[in-house]
Structure 1
Amino acid sequence: MKSVQDFDPSGFRAAYEGRGLTQAEVAEAIGVTVGTVGRWVRGKGAPSPRLFAALVEQLGLPRSEMLAPLAPNADLAALRTRAGLRQEDVAERLGVQASDVSEMELGAGRMRDEWAVTLIALYGVPLDRLVRAGEVADERWRAAIDSKRRQMS
């Protein structure tokens, strides 16, 4: 499972400590080991979208405090994981299969216009940011295809 790509370990630590919580309390609240929370704090890993959502919902830790600023080249998968969502969650809200979301994130499938309003709300980004993330995915897919073509030539 993909981790939240731009998880900020120092921001995470400041967020839970600022609320008077210990690593043990954080771990117990979201059902992971203290070692797991410690690895996140040391930057040796990051929570999955599901666990990130639990940090936000169950502990009331602000999402914005636990994330690095959004990179200009953030793709659709980055927007999804920042929102604490799995592909299955997004697919359910869009009324499609998880494979449709996967293809969209890989750039192999297009983002449908009718999905934009839902994705903007789910990911908490403006339309121009959503469109740019889709373009990044498309560019990466095209680059991968071009690379394979060159290898076959």
Structure 2
Amino acid sequence: MKSVQDFSASGFRAAYEAKGWSQGDVAKAIGVTVGTVGRWVRGRGAPSPRLFAALAGVLDVPRSQLLLPLDPAADLAVLRTRAGLRQEDVAERLGVQASDISEMELGTGRPRDEWAVPLSSLYGVSLDRLVKAREATDRRWREEFEGKRRQAP
């Protein structure tokens, strides 16, 4: 499972300390080990989208407080994980298969036009930002494809 790539260890630490919580309190509240929380605090890992959403909820902070600023080159998968959503969550809300979302994020499947507004709302971004993320996803796919093509005998 993909973790939230731009998780802010310092923002996370500040959020739980402001509540007067320890790493153990956080771990207990979301059902993970203290070691897992410690890795997140040290920047050696990040929560899954599901755990990220749980963190924002139990700490009662906006997700943005637990994230680094959005990279201009962020792709569709980054927007989804920043929203605390799994591919299955997005698929359910759009009424499609999780494989449709996976293919969209890999750049091998095209998002449908009617998905734009719901995705923008789910991900908490403007339509313009969603289009830029789609372009980043497409660019990444083309670069990977060209790299494989150059390596072929």
TM-score normalised by the chain length of structure 2: 0.96
1:18 is matched with which residue? 18
Opposite residue 79 of structure 2, the aligned amino acid is: L
Contact 1:15 1:62 in 2 (8 A): no
Contact 1:91 1:100 in 2 (8 A): yes
Counterparts of 1:3-152 in structure 2, within 5 Å, are 3-152=3-152
Q: Return 5+ residue gaps in structure 2 as ranges.
A: none
- Measure the CA separation in 2 of the matches of 1:44 and 1:79: 21
> Is the partner of 1:21 in helix, strand or coil?
coil
- Measure the CA separation in 1 of the matches of 2:95 and 2:9: 34
Q: CA deviation at 1:151?
A: 2.0
- Residue range with higher mean Cα deviation, 40-49 or 17-26: 17-26
Opposite residue 69 of structure 1, the aligned amino acid is: P
Poorly superposed stretches of 4+, deviation over 6 Å: none
Q: What is the number of equivalent residue pairs in this alignment?
A: 153
- Measure the CA separation in 2 of the matches of 1:14 and 1:59: 10
- Measure the CA separation in 2 of the matches of 1:101 and 1:114: 14
Q: CA deviation at 1:62?
A: 2.2
TM-score normalised by the chain length of structure 1: 0.96
What's the CA shift string for 1:87-145, capped at 9, x where partnerless? Answer: 00000001111110011001111111100111111100001100000011111111111
Q: Return 5+ residue gaps in structure 1 as ranges.
A: none
> Is the partner of 1:128 in helix, strand or coil?
helix
- Over the residues paired in the alignment, what is the CA RMSD in angstroms? 1.0
- Measure the CA separation in 1 of the matches of 2:28 and 2:148: 46
- Measure the CA separation in 2 of the matches of 1:74 and 1:119: 15
Of all paired residues, the percent bearing the same amino acid is: 74
